[in-house]
Amino acid sequence: MLKGKDGIIRVGGSLDRLGGVQNWNIDPQVDVVAGWGMGDAAEEAFSTISRYSGSMEVYLDHADPSDDINPGDVMDVDLYPGGETSGSGYYSGSILVTGTPMSGSKDGIPTKTINFRNSSGVLTKATVA
């Protein structure tokens, strides 16, 4: 069983590891085209183009690589849900950063959220060698 505390995110050309990761999500989707003609008993649907979007939340830290991520940046990302041990699965893709809202409260640690969508290509699933 995977444990969220073991998760790792790497970004950029050198795939720098982000620190203070609190959570992440990815939402793979496809466009659907549907149609029917006279005399058909049911609609027929099929998928066309795929995309994905998501976000990563990290502690706000000016010494961390996440501090240099800004809207408009295009970068590679690898998301390891259960860590980087041999045999573990991970997701990889090229992302376009769409926003980087930050927040803080009097009783918490300030955070930065990195919202993204695919910049090109598809989200792939691979296994750590």
Structure tokens at 129: 């060698």
Per-residue pLDDT band at 1 (split at 50, 70, 90): confident
pLDDT exceeds 90 at position 2 = no
Distance between CA atoms of residues 12 and 78, nearest Å: 9
How far, CA to CA in Å, does 79 sit from each of 33, 51, 90? Answer: 30, 16, 6
| pLDDT tens profile 39-89 | 999 999 999 999 999 999 999 999 999 999 999 999 999 999 999 999 999
Mean per-residue pLDDT for 24-42? 95
State the burial class of residue 66 (Cβ atoms within 10 Å of its Cβ: 0-12, 13-18, 19+): buried
pTM of the predicted structure, to 2 decimals? 0.89
To the question of domain 4-127 being in CATH 2.60.40, the answer is no
Confidence of residue 18 (pLDDT cuts 50, 70, 90): very high
